[in-house]
Amino acid sequence: MMKDKFGKFPGTARKYIRPAGGNAILMLLPIVLFMLVFGISLIMRSSSEHTQSFHVHRQNVVTYLAEGALNIAMQHVAENLEKKYKKLLIENSLEVYNLKDKVPEIKSAVKFLIDAMPGAELTRLTMDFSDAVNFDKLQPDPNEKMGLLIFTCDVKYFEVSTTLKIVRDIKIVNITPPAEEFTLYTNTGNENNHIINSGPSIFCKNKDEENGERGSIRIASGDKGNEFYLGEKYGWADQSISPMPSPTRSEVYAKYGLFKPTQITDAISNLPKPIIGAFQSSLEIELSEFLVDPKAKNKKYSCIISINSPIVDLPKEVYGGIVYGSEDNKAKQAYGKGGLFGYPTLANIKSNKLYLPKKLYVQGLKKLYGKYTLSENMISIPVSFEPPKFVDVYIYHYGPKVAEKVVQPYSSADGSFSVSDGDGKIGIDGCAALKGSEYKKRAFYATEEINMNTMQLFAGGGSILINGVMFAKKIEVGAPKQAFVYNGRFVLASDGEMTINNNVSINEKLAAKIPSSLSLILHPKGASDANLAVTPLKYKARKITVSGETAIVLKIDASVFSYNSMEFVKDGNSGNINSGFTRLHISGNFAVNRLIKKDFSPWLFINYKKRVAEKDYGRYVVSMSPIYSAWYEEKRGAK
């Protein structure tokens, strides 16, 4: 007989018997186990979160350390590109440069980061110049190139490490101003006779007083062959510095400077020192009687009295009379700038003799008069109440030479500039400057429009600090109420339009530390020998009043290139005065492919400055892109 499920035989008495003991308790065990497992998993989860937060922290630590180290490195390189790395970059000898070990200041600066985060380790900080190519494949200047500067940094913090790379564009460009060996360079193709003293005045002081460099003057009229080549072969010579006559004006002195044809060298060099009398309210300068008798006929001479006036915006030079070897039978005043003081007599003219005024004096320190044998006040120019500190007397000679096709089309002597187009022809438009597209290639910053606000992006130390080329279709230099003050060595180039709104000057405070030069270049698209009438460079002058005298003045401490002359634009600053009364001062050099004097028509003063040094690749600047070209980070060890 089979037992039933209770272990009994069927038919036997059944009683309720509880199943095996402890089941109810056992039922709780899974709950306990579940709680245990759940609790442990909670622990694991929260622990892992906690661990993760540490990893995230460590990742951030290495990133910030690497970023900080790269910032230090990039700052160092930016500050020392010119001094330390330019040569290496130009000569392609940089290789992989170990900044951490080779540059002590970087090493000490980075040490701070490592000390701030104990456990951190900087294993690598390098830079590398790669992918260098020349701008111009057909006529390359081998020193001009562009490439990538790659900064790499490896940082380790406990088990987490990172490699951070930052790529910056590098351009090495030639910033030599167009026609830099010329104070004034014109290349007008079909314009006729440009006579320096006809129409509005052009005055060129073709010696850079700071370094003694001289710039030639070239006024070319192309096919006609009337080229005037001034001042190229004659130098300045300081003849004397007088003892100071007055204890109250002890800084005043005078000197002779001259362009000297060999015929008059001896005569001038034997001149006695000028005598200066400085009194309470007047200044007298007595020059010696000066007579030259040049052998060569048809030479022209001019005398300039230069007063180093403290008035900033007024010309420092007072122009003397020009006595020239005319056969006219009338005594005449020769034309010059600002007036005359020499008074040639018929006899002197006929005998080709030149006299200088014997005595100049200033009354009330307001007016300067030239006085010769006649008691006539022949010139009158404003000077300040402050006495002048220097009085320079320059005698220069100029005259038409046998027309020389000196440089036509232009290319500078050392070949550092070339004009190239798609065909690879040099100087195709007979122009001293590169085409706009060439500047665009070389620019570290190229855009549609550059104005004062844009340039403030590159401000450093309160002034514009730029190295390299900036290019735009439209450029506004300065603002109507704000001068453009700069430091750095750079070129502002446009192929569209350019307007100079205000004075352009170098921040002198920083200039001692930061070599500074600027070239303003307008080379419009489509400009060529066949198409000269392209947009001229526009400028606005400022109306200023000093000691009751009004003048409209614009000062440009830069070299200027304009394909098609310059054009005066009236605005609120200039008042209702036309360009004929303006004075444009350029401290640098002025190259203009087509000089239209009657349209241009300010008084133009060019004070030659050669700011680009020859040695140590001084013609080249290295510019680093202001923003990262690429940024790459690889982290390791974070789990």
Partner 1 sequence: MMMKTPPLTAYKIRVPLHAAAEGSGKKGNTLAFVLIFLTILSFLMVPIINIFTYSSMTAVKSKNALIALNLALQTIEEIKSKPFDDVVSMLPSDRKPFEGDWIDDASGSVKYPEYYKMFRKNIEVKTDKDFSPANKKIKRIVVTVFWDELNDERRRLTHAIKLATCISAE
* Nearer Cβ to partner 1 (17/133): 17
Per-residue interface string for the shown chain with partner 1, residues 454-483, x marking contact by CB under 8 A: ------x-----------------------
Asked whether 442 and 521 are in contact (CB, 8 A), the reply is no
Cα 422 to chain centroid distance, Å, stands at: 28
* Nearer Cβ to partner 1 (112/631): 112
Q: Is 42 in the site for partner 1 (CB under 8 A)?
A: yes
Phi, psi of 201 (to 5 degrees): -80, 145
Interface with partner 1 (CB under 8 A), residue from 12, 280, 375, 545: 12
Phi, psi of 381 (to 5 degrees): -135, 155
Asked whether 240 and 256 are in contact (CB, 8 A), the reply is yes
Interface with partner 1 (CB under 8 A), residue from 25, 133, 374, 512: 25
Instruction: Say how far apart CA 347 and CA 350 lie, in whole Å.
Output: 5
Instruction: Say how far apart CA 515 and CA 326 lie, in whole Å.
Output: 47
* Nearer Cβ to partner 1 (52/92): 52
238: its two tokens: 């300081």
Interface with partner 1 (CB under 8 A), residue from 5, 22, 413, 548: 22
Least CB distance to partner 1 at residue 27 (A): 11
Least CB distance to partner 1 at residue 12 (A): 6
* Nearer Cβ to partner 1 (71/345): 71
Q: Cβ neighbours of residue 271 under 8 Å, at least 6 residues apart?
A: 239, 240, 256, 288, 290
Least CB distance to partner 1 at residue 25 (A): 5
Least CB distance to partner 1 at residue 24 (A): 9
Q: Is 347 in the site for partner 1 (CB under 8 A)?
A: no
Q: Which of 323, 368, 331, 356 is nearest to 197 (CA)?
A: 323
Q: Is 54 in the site for partner 1 (CB under 8 A)?
A: yes
Give the range of 54-62, 525-533, 563-571, 602-610 binding partner 1 by CB under 8 A: 54-62
Interface with partner 1 (CB under 8 A), residue from 5, 50, 83, 615: 50
Q: Which long-range CB contacts under 8 A does 131-136 form with residues at least 24 apart? A: 132/92, 135/173, 135/438, 135/441, 135/442, 136/418, 136/420, 136/438
196: its two tokens: 């320096």
Give the range of 25-33, 187-195, 402-410, 432-440 binding partner 1 by CB under 8 A: 25-33
* Nearer Cβ to partner 1 (52/308): 52
Tell me the β-bridge partners of 583: 553, 603
Q: Give, as ranges, the residues between 93 and 112 that touch partner 1 (CB under 8 A).
A: 105-106, 108-109, 112
State the helix-helix crossing angle for 23-80 and 104-116, rounded to 10 degrees: 160
Distance from the first to the final alpha carbon of the chain? 69
Q: Is 513 in the site for partner 1 (CB under 8 A)?
A: yes
Q: Is 272 in the site for partner 1 (CB under 8 A)?
A: no
Q: Is 53 in the site for partner 1 (CB under 8 A)?
A: yes
* Nearer Cβ to partner 1 (12/329): 12
* Nearer Cβ to partner 1 (61/566): 61
Q: Which of 130, 131, 114 is nearest to 122 (CA)?
A: 114
Interface with partner 1 (CB under 8 A), residue from 91, 93, 102, 116: 116
Interface with partner 1 (CB under 8 A), residue from 60, 298, 308, 351: 60
Q: Tell me the site size for partner 1, rule CB under 8 A.
A: 53
Q: Which of 489, 481, 473, 479 is nearest to 456 (CA)?
A: 479
For 46-78, letters b (16+ CB in 10 Å) and e give eeeeeeeeebeebbebbbebbbbbbebbbebbb
Q: For residue 266, count other CB atoms closer than 10 A to its CB.
A: 10
Residues that bind partner 1 (CB under 8 A): 1, 9, 12-13, 15-18, 21-22, 25, 28, 32, 35-36, 39-40, 42-43, 45-47, 49-50, 52-54, 56-57, 60-61, 64-65, 67-69, 71-72, 74-76, 78-79, 105-106, 108-109, 112-113, 116-117, 460, 513
